[in-house]
């Protein structure tokens, strides 16, 4: 039986770094679901058609980590038909053996509500802006404004709003090093793996 880990949270909270580290440690598959929406937004044109035609090659574009791609992703992610077109892909990915780690904004609430472990990763707005600005070489003030705009839109949308699942473990990385955050997350995974009664 596949072991599924859902990691949600706002941009630059550290969820992607944590997800990749967990996948490497346990030999699980990893999917950054935000790339799906970024790729749809970057394709341009009709977003529903773009979502239905999405291929693996679309996920390798060099411009998917930009602020512009993030804003485009947030806009197309608010379209229910786009989300529907990408849901089946994500659920098939999550069912892979021996396990899968998916990070995004609605994994624990919509895509994988029965995940074996749900983490909701947060950090202060200022710290997230510093991280993202350093990552993409952008102005921190402009990045902070963009993150706040995106957070507001993602949290207010009617389709799968950004929020923690009721049974998610909240992980605040504001004052954590990458090593500390990964260590905490790995401990949560190990605790679930040692508790077979909680498995689906």
The annotation status of 34 as a binding-site residue, yes or no, is: no
Distance (Å, whole) CA 82 – CA 70: 16
CA angle 133, 130, 138 (to 5 degrees): 15
Whether residue 11 is annotated as binding a ligand: the answer is yes
Q: Do the annotations mark residue 14 as ligand-binding?
A: yes
pLDDT tops 70 at residue 197:
no
- Please tell me whether 45 is known to bind a ligand: no
> Binding residue per annotation — 13?
yes
Opening angle at CA 71, ends 69 and 74, nearest 5: 110
Query: Is 9 inside a domain boundary?
Result: yes
Number of domains, the chain = 1
Is 179 part of any known ligand binding site? no
User: Is residue 94 one of the residues assigned to a domain?
Assistant: yes
Q: Is residue 198 assigned to a domain?
A: no
Q: Residue 195: inside a domain, yes or no?
A: no
Tens digits of per-residue pLDDT, 117-176?
999 999 999 999 999 999 989 999 999 999 999 999 989 988 889 999 999 999 999 999
pLDDT in tens, 175-190: 999 999 999 999 999 9
pTM, 2 dp: 0.86
Query: Is position 199 within any domain?
Result: no
- For residue 165, the enclosing domain spans 3-190
């Amino acid at each position: 039986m596949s072991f599924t880990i859902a990691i949600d949270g706002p941009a630059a909270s550290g969820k992607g770094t944590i997800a990749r580290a967990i996948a490497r440690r346990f030999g699980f598959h990893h999917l950054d679901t935000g790339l799906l929406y970024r790729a749809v937004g970057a394709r341009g044109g009709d977003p529903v058609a773009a979502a239905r035609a999405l291929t693996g090659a679309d996920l390798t574009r060099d411009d998917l980590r930009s602020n512009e791609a993030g804003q485009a992703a947030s806009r197309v992610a608010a379209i229910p038909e786009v989300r529907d077109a990408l849901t089946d892909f994500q659920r098939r990915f999550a069912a892979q053996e021996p396990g899968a780690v998916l990070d995004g904004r609605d994994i624990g609430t919509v895509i994988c509500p029965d995940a074996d472990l749900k983490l909701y990763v947060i950090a202060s707005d200022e710290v997230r802006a510093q991280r993202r600005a350093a990552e993409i070489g952008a102005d921190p003030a402009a990045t902070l404004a963009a993150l706040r705009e995106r957070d507001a839109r993602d949290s207010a949308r009617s389709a799968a709003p950004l929020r923690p699942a009721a049974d998610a473990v909240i992980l605040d990385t504001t004052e954590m090093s990458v090593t500390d955050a990964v260590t905490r997350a790995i401990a949560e995974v190990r605790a679930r793996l040692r508790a077979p009664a909680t498995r689906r």
